[in-house]
Structure 1
Amino acid sequence: MSRKLIIFSFVTASMLMLGIALQTVRIVDVFPLSRSRYLFKEAAFSTKSSANAEASGAELALFIYTNPNDSEGIKVKENLEHALELAKLHSETIAADDILTIKPGPWTALLLTGEDISELNQETIRSYVRQGGRLLAYTRFYAPEWNDLLGIASNKGYFTGANQGITVNKTVFPGYPDLPETNVLFSNNMLDVELRPQAQIYLSAQKSPLLWTFTYGQGKVVYWNSTSNVQKEGRGLMVQSIGLALDSLVTSQVASRSLNIDDFPSPVPQVDNPLIHKEFGLSTPAFYERIWWEDMVRFSKLYGWKYTGLMIGTYQNQTRPPLPSLLENTPKLIPYFGSKLLSLGGEIGLHGYNHQSLVTADEPIKSELGYIPWPNKAAMVESLQRLTELSSSLFPGHELKTYVPPSNVMNRTGKHALAEAVTSVDIISSLYTVGGEKGFLEQEFGVDKELPQFTNFPRISSGYVIDEGQKFFINDAIANFGMVNHFVHPDDALDINRSGGKGWKYLSQHFESWMSWLHKTYTYLEPLTVRDAVKKFSLYEAGTVNVHYGSEAITITTKDQLIPMHYTVRVPNHQTPEIPKEAGHLTSLDAAEGLWHLEALQPTVNIQLKESKP
């Protein structure tokens, strides 16, 4: 070999080695620690009131009856009331003796929530429906003498055991998937019935009718052969099934979607992960930078997401002061990914000084989590202050607003510690439903009842692979009030249990498939950071919506409500709603069921109902 060739080979090999070395250190050095200032630009929302508009027509009248001794019926009633409130529908509680005073009509409905109907006069109910009243039963009850009113041809009493799963026979609201019998999201103790031919079955469980409608005289009955309407997972169906009884119905939608990245930014494991090494041949930090984050950037650009990242300072388990400062030896991936997140228009919130839930030893938490309790509130305050110092140092000018409790576990002590330590934080995002598990913080959307300086904004769904049960729940929240709040964790791709050993390519493909479906199906859902989604929800919640119904027109008037405002509109399927172009946009959701989406650009919108062309 010639001397020149040897020198050239040496130089080439040296350059390759240098390139590899630079790639290795690039991830930790690409973000200069100059603490460049970042100012978050909040989304702007406008509200308007109608100019004393007068509308003719009937107002919706919903009367809820529950036997005061029926404990399960009371739970269904409370669940229904939450659902109606989120959809901006007003209801009234009525006693059995006062049902006689209800005037039957196409926009008046009596809602029964329990199975104890002993106080009800059957003939009073029958006469009310026969004369044009609308009746909904949210819990099945065994009363053979009611069979003809309910559209039941044969009633054999209760099934032995529970019926699981749901089959969608007709559209209550678009987008719901079928749930197989193996899915336990809905488990009902049902009546074994056969229905009259005129009954319309909308949902069934294991081939038995679960939700149906039946016309009786001039009125209509909607019957839930169900015991699951105590669950939040079915609130959207509870609301939208009211429209099956009425001639028409308008429900309100927040129209937002949020995507949270939990444990991000955070210290990244420096060791090789077997799953990542096998799939990509990369270290964990390199995978996060070159594969996972690049995909998240692509998803943001394709589907409009404005991510909210929840920062962790350290994964050490220390909970007793003095707690080490996080300013020294800060893993450089935290400022690197934090700046990338903010450059996409995202938000950084807090997850914790470490991943130890803010509870003391005498507060409930699952022992399986293996967490170390905090000795007192003061220690929690110190930990939150340490994390806030880190955030202020790395991202000056970015105000912290959102807090997500580690493992969604938080109690009274932790809430008070958060209020004291980080006064700018006014949003707590935990879980919408916990299934009764120990210690987890379950929330309703809206102002926290214990500490009203906080707004609760719970997680509805999570994960990269969204199974049929989660798809159902996501769709149900959209049907209820038009909102998505989804969480993912970067390290799901590293965990063989959470990923099922499938790897990131599998996870990302399934995740993108769901995002694409959501984006195409519900184009009106505005992608927002959590702080902006809460701002929009708070404005939505504070405004009022009044609807007047008629056979030829529906008029919506608002006060201090968002513009544009979004609604789900159900009209008779032989009619087509029309509005002036300047008033907004109408989009068909399901023509056969008369379901439409309305984006209203004015505080008052008059919808004309025209006979559909054959």
Structure 2
Amino acid sequence: MKKFIIILLLILSLFVFSQKKILLLYKKTEEYGKYMLQNYVIPILEKNGISYDLKDIETFNYYNISTKEYLGVISWYYSTELKYPNLYLRQLSNFVENNGIFFFFNNLGVSTNQREINNFLNKLGVHYMYGYKVLKNFEPLYEKEFFTATPSTLPQPVEKYKIFEKDVNILLELKSNNETYPLIFISPKGGGALFNSFFDNNKEFILNIEKIFNIFLKKTVGSKNKILLVKDKYDTNYYVNIQYQIEKMLEYAKINFNTTTISTFYNKSFIDLLDYRYIIWITNAKYIDTENTEMFLENGGSIVYITDLHNTPWKDKIKIEKHAISKIIFDKRLFPLTNSKDGIELERTFEENLKIVLDNETILSYLVSSNEKLPAIWYKKEKGGYIGYIYPPLVIKELRGLILQCILEMQDYNIMGFLNSYIFYIDDFPIPSYEIKKKGIKDTDFYYKIWWKDIKDFANSYNIKYTFITPLSYNGASNPPFDFSEFLITDEPIKALMEIDNSKHELGLHGYNHLSLLKENWTNKENLQEGLKSAKKFIESVLGHPIFINSYVAPNNLIDEFGVKNLIKALPEIKTIGTTYTSPDEFSEYKILENFTIIIPRPTYGYYPLKKILLTTINTLSNFGAFQHFIHPDDFFSNERNPLNKSWKELLLHLDKFYYKIKTTFPWLRNQTASEAYPYLFEFLTEKYEYNIKGNSLEVIIESSTIKPKYFLLRTKIPIRKVIGGKIIAFYPENDIYILSSELSKLTIKFLEEEK
């Protein structure tokens, strides 16, 4: 019954809120349909302010049955005589295929061959099988709340209809001799009420259309769980960059979205907004409330403003005050992993001249000055939905995940894709050692007797698989001969190389040497390719067997198109290229190249400060459920990477604190080598999820051919009643966050409110 309500609610809610009209069709030669429409349908339409056209189909131009003017068609015919029936059915087919709604009373009103009839009816999810007869003995099976009295038990004409789509729901059917005959049925695209099934034994009309319409008026928005981003074609570079950050954030989170310009947005009808749960205003152009945006809010939508405060509903609460900002704090409820006792902090100094005074809003982020906290992100319940604000300067790459969590919080519930993967790269190892003393110890002794032993013990204690990236040389040569004398100064690098080869860890490449693969460094592409091939041959000669090197990390995090092209030509088995997430160039985003190699930009590196490492990890985990962490064996010696000159034991302790926090917070988080992560990353970056919200159920449709399980992060203010097609693998009650997994192609989450 509830499924029927939801579907019927969808159909007439479209009727009610669209700026388009409803086309009511009758036949003048019989007048019966006109009378019925005038007495039972039109009063309800007029009561609810729904525009309509009442037309005689016998003189109406079939080609005017178009979704350009009409949202839905309701016909009421008694006879089956109609000129050009095939043309009529073809036009109805086109109408439904273009998202129009069709519902008929009594019959279709045409007589033609079965193929033509079913060409149309199949689009409604039903199949017509003829078999006309009159039942005398039968049991009516019906949904009582949609009838004012018991349906007729007098002899009833029936025909056989086969229901083949799961979304078609039967409101009334007759059961006779173990056969059932649907009489009133409905699907998301329309339906029918056959013969006189809507009368009782006294010939009184008993279908409660008023009740149906009242239910439709309560239809909520967001059936496809999408986000609509609104911008202006004249936006400055500042807002264009913010729009880019939001789009990448949603893309990584597997959240479906569309972008539109202001002029197009204000030309949309309410029907055009029904797929969306959020409207995000990302422009400094003036925002104007309309009847459609008001209805969007009233019916459960969220409107989020990323714009100047003067352009929002809070414009009257602004105070002009100067503040020297020292940090940004995000509420600890946003994510289970935090980097301070107050929540999640980012140190940032700038001046702010505005202060907002809020009442009952929920504040998710503050700007912290010397003497007070200034709200930066907040939301509140408004009518049936939510309105929220995000301070535009916070929409930066290093805060994408937290901005996403703030947006997800501005609804009753929402879901995002979660890759569930982390890669631990060890860059520059095995490393040439030169028997040089640094900080009172020979580099060989530190790398291979202290660091190497401790890092293996660390892997065992946390069950980690490393991806080692070796440079083989630091000679900076871009011309032959390509020798490996540096790697052979001591025996330790070769021993380590062989040990890695026989372990659970993975070996990748930094190149022939530590010279970045940039066109300016390698003017001769043949030399670049030869250097890489020589490096692979050298490793094979040391190990005594052929190898496939799948992982490459760009020295100094720098690479260009020239370098990528020649790297892949030299080593076509390369499937991942490591860069850095903070770089401003085009290789700082996760992306797939033409030969299906994936750019993996690392967000996290080093041992300290722990607050910064946690922040960068939180950022990508809360955006799409993954992070990549880099360390180097020579971090201990580096003034840049160890500016406080901490001892190795201190560095190792910092590393332990970081991974202890990761492991205790997310014990289920998968550690993978770069090559193991590749297929999961590839699918995650290429696949699309489909979302459907039906009542208080959220449905996720996943491509059947993809690698399972799939993982999701669900934020919800409403408790979960049941998960179908998956399971809960973690719950964080302080954050209202669930981690879900699914081995199937459809995951359904049912919430407790569904029982109300």
Indicate the SS of the match to 2:508.
strand
Q: Distance in 1 between matches of 2:625 and 2:657?
A: 20
Q: Distance in 1 between matches of 2:433 and 2:745?
A: 49
Deviation at 1:597, TM superposition (A): 1.1
Matched, 1:240 2:383: no
Residue identity (%): 20
Task: Give the aligned length.
Answer: 528
Deviation at 1:401, TM superposition (A): 1.2
Matched, 1:113 2:277: no
Deviation at 1:393, TM superposition (A): 1.4
Partner residue of 2:224?
59
**5 Å matches for 1:141-152?**
141-143=308-310, 146-147=312-313, 150=314
Indicate the SS of the match to 1:561.
coil
**What one-letter code is carried by the residue in structure 1 that aligns with 2:356?**
E
Matched, 1:376 2:376: no
Deviation at 1:515, TM superposition (A): 0.6
Against the structure 1 CA distance between its residues 177 and 329, is the aligned structure 2 distance closer, same or farther, given a 3 Å change threshold? closer
Q: Distance in 2 between matches of 1:385 and 1:564?
A: 37
Against the structure 1 CA distance between its residues 210 and 313, is the aligned structure 2 distance closer, same or farther, given a 3 Å change threshold? same
Partner residue of 1:23?
none
Partner residue of 1:6?
none
Against the structure 1 CA distance between its residues 452 and 509, is the aligned structure 2 distance closer, same or farther, given a 3 Å change threshold? same
Deviation at 1:64, TM superposition (A): 0.6
Aligned partner (choices 299, 313, 335) of residue 494 of structure 2: 335
TM-score relative to the length of structure 2? 0.64
Deviation at 1:68, TM superposition (A): 1.3
Higher mean displacement: 74-83 or 169-178 = 169-178
Deviation at 1:124, TM superposition (A): 4.9
Aligned partner (choices 289, 294, 297) of residue 122 of structure 1: 289
Against the structure 1 CA distance between its residues 54 and 305, is the aligned structure 2 distance closer, same or farther, given a 3 Å change threshold? farther
Matched, 1:585 2:728: yes
Partner residue of 2:697?
553
Q: Distance in 1 between matches of 2:738 and 2:539?
A: 45
Residue deviations 1:93-141 (CA, integer Å, cap 9, x gap): 1232434424577962101122x123x4234576245423534445331
Q: Distance in 2 between matches of 1:162 and 1:139?
A: 22
Residue deviations 1:413-449 (CA, integer Å, cap 9, x gap): 3223212222222321111122x4xxx674211213x
Matched, 1:273 2:273: no
Aligned partner (choices 542, 563, 574) of residue 425 of structure 1: 574
Q: Contact 2:575–2:678 at 8 Å: present in 1 too?
A: no
Aligned partner (choices 370, 392, 415) of residue 226 of structure 1: 392
Aligned partner (choices 517, 523, 539) of residue 667 of structure 2: 523
**5 Å matches for 1:283-298?**
283-298=442-457
Q: Distance in 2 between matches of 1:53 and 1:346?
A: 48
Q: Contact 2:417–2:713 at 8 Å: present in 1 too?
A: yes
Partner residue of 1:534?
678
Indicate the SS of the match to 2:334.
coil
Matched, 1:543 2:708: no
Indicate the SS of the match to 2:376.
strand
Matched, 1:443 2:585: no
Deviation at 1:249, TM superposition (A): 0.6
Partner residue of 2:422?
257
Q: Distance in 1 between matches of 2:377 and 2:240?
A: 20
Unaligned ranges ≥5, structure 1: 1-51, 278-282, 362-372
Aligned partner (choices 590, 597, 601) of residue 743 of structure 2: 601
Matched, 1:455 2:598: yes
**What one-letter code is carried by the residue in structure 1 that aligns with 2:541?**
S
Partner residue of 1:154?
317
Indicate the SS of the match to 1:214.
strand
Deviation at 1:63, TM superposition (A): 0.7
Deviation at 1:261, TM superposition (A): 0.8
Matched, 1:471 2:582: no
Deviation at 1:490, TM superposition (A): 0.4
**What one-letter code is carried by the residue in structure 2 that aligns with 1:315?**
Y
Residue deviations 1:248-285 (CA, integer Å, cap 9, x gap): 1111111001011111112123122225x3xxxxx432
Q: Distance in 2 between matches of 1:417 and 1:498?
A: 31
Q: Distance in 2 between matches of 1:399 and 1:598?
A: 35
Q: Contact 1:430–1:458 at 8 Å: present in 2 too?
A: yes
Indicate the SS of the match to 2:650.
helix
**What one-letter code is carried by the residue in structure 1 that aligns with 2:428?**
D
Report the RMSD for the aligned CA atoms in angstroms.
3.2
**What one-letter code is carried by the residue in structure 1 that aligns with 2:679?**
K
Residue deviations 1:45-96 (CA, integer Å, cap 9, x gap): xxxxxxx987999221211101111132222122211111111111011232
Against the structure 1 CA distance between its residues 522 and 291, is the aligned structure 2 distance closer, same or farther, given a 3 Å change threshold? same
Deviation at 1:480, TM superposition (A): 0.6
Q: Contact 1:165–1:179 at 8 Å: present in 2 too?
A: no
Q: Distance in 2 between matches of 1:549 and 1:162?
A: 44
Against the structure 1 CA distance between its residues 587 and 415, is the aligned structure 2 distance closer, same or farther, given a 3 Å change threshold? closer
Higher mean displacement: 383-392 or 249-258 = 383-392
Indicate the SS of the match to 2:730.
strand
Indicate the SS of the match to 2:676.
helix
Which of these two proteins has the greater Rg computed from alpha carbons?
2
Unaligned ranges ≥5, structure 2: 1-164, 169-187, 189-221
Matched, 1:504 2:672: no
Q: Distance in 2 between matches of 1:326 and 1:422?
A: 22
Deviation at 1:239, TM superposition (A): 2.2
Q: Distance in 2 between matches of 1:501 and 1:195?
A: 45
Indicate the SS of the match to 2:738.
strand
Matched, 1:565 2:710: yes
Q: Contact 1:571–1:577 at 8 Å: present in 2 too?
A: no
Residue deviations 1:542-599 (CA, integer Å, cap 9, x gap): 33322222453222221133322111112224x234336x83234212x244221112
Residue deviations 1:439-490 (CA, integer Å, cap 9, x gap): x674211213xx5443111111110224323311210100110011111000
**What one-letter code is carried by the residue in structure 1 that aligns with 2:255?**
L
**What one-letter code is carried by the residue in structure 2 that aligns with 1:88?**
K
Q: Contact 1:433–1:442 at 8 Å: present in 2 too?
A: no
Q: Contact 2:364–2:378 at 8 Å: present in 1 too?
A: yes
**What one-letter code is carried by the residue in structure 2 that aligns with 1:561?**
T
Partner residue of 1:203?
365
Aligned partner (choices 354, 368, 373) of residue 192 of structure 1: 354
Indicate the SS of the match to 2:689.
strand
**What one-letter code is carried by the residue in structure 2 that aligns with 1:303?**
Y
Against the structure 1 CA distance between its residues 188 and 75, is the aligned structure 2 distance closer, same or farther, given a 3 Å change threshold? farther
Q: Distance in 1 between matches of 2:565 and 2:342?
A: 43
Deviation at 1:522, TM superposition (A): 1.8
Deviation at 1:610, TM superposition (A): 2.5
